[in-house]
Amino acid sequence: MQVALVGVSGYSGMTLYALLKQHPAVDQINLYGHAGSQPVALKTVAPMYQKETAVIRPFDAQAVMAQNDLIFFATSAGVTSQLALPLIAENFPVIDLSGDFRLSNPAQYTKWYHRAAAPAEALAKASYGLADFNPTLTTYVANPGCYATATLLGLAPLVQQQLINPNSIVVDAKSGLSGAGKKLTPTSQFAMVNDNLQLYKVNQHQHIPEVMQQLKKWWPAIPAIEFTTTLIPVTRGIMSSIYVKAAQATTTATILAAFEQVYGDQPFVQILPAGEMPTLKDVIGSNNCAIGVNVNPVTNTIFVVSVIDNLMKGAAGQAIQNFNAYFNFAPTTGLPTLPVFP
């Protein structure tokens, strides 16, 4: 099988390229860059691939469809809404790691991403690939965002089984620096990130509407969430700390049973025993999500901690998981299930 990849020079794109190189069903990876650009050797934009002979060629939709079985976009917001339309028109398989097709409402995309949305008829053809819930995938798969993945996996059993007060969801999410991409900004310099914590996009993060879109599909009664994001001085990883009020008095054992019921057969979601909470080291380098649960009977609060590697489960790893589902490969094919430690 031959697959195409646009955006190999970014962190998610590099991670995806490495996973595809090890995937047993992938025989050839064809790399593409900006339309109209000159071909460039991969090793010139990704020095760690000095022994690779791959070349990044200019994007051409017709060439992509003629030479490949599927295309991955690991690009910034605003790119696939322009490049992918000919592929959508031909129902060519796409897995998109950007946010351009996650939101079904064009007005919501414009509000949160501050740019023009893809045409409504194109958005309607996309499916949201939250992979651990075995979604029905269309030929255009919108890969979920990293914060959204960690948060939705942490909330799903509570929301689906209506175990909480729908007005009470508070999410305190923290991410390593690689989640911001390679572009240097004043807040991403070493002097600002090291020995520091930085709140950003408080209740304005672009992953909020996709979280809400999915939560409302599970339970329309949820009106909104409180969602805070913090940049922490680590390279990769997301920790989503979730606080909700229980609908009625409950116990940690009861809530853990609800999580086990939902995720018991999912190879990438690990529910920790009572009294244990996950750390980033539990998942870094793997496609896993580790979840810990605790109930405070005094405050009637359910506390959930959900951790993922933002470049794996939050991006490239989940993209491969969706790739496996689309072509009916085993879910774990080509994906690491053990973290890198220490």
Return the active site residues: 146
Can you tell me the distance from the alpha carbon of 292 to that of 340, in angstroms, rounded to the nearest whole number? 20
End-to-end CA, the chain? 35
Angle at 240 between CA 195 and CA 294, to 5 degrees: 115
Q: Enumerate the H helices of the chain as residue ranges.
A: 11-21, 42-45, 61-67, 80-83, 85-89, 106-113, 120-123, 146-160, 190-193, 208-218, 252-263, 317-326
- Upstream peptide bond of 157 is cis (omega within 30 degrees of 0): no
Q: How far is CA 224 from CA 165, 170, 213, 269, in A?
A: 12, 10, 10, 25
Checking DSSP bridges between strand 238-245 and strand 28-33, what pairing results, if any? Answer: unpaired
Q: Cβ–Cβ contacts within 10 Å for residue 38, how many?
A: 9
Query: In this structure, is the dihedral angle defined by the CA atoms of residues 187, 188, 192 and 193, taken in order, positive or negative?
Result: positive
The answer to whether 291 and 271 have CB atoms below 8 angstroms apart is yes
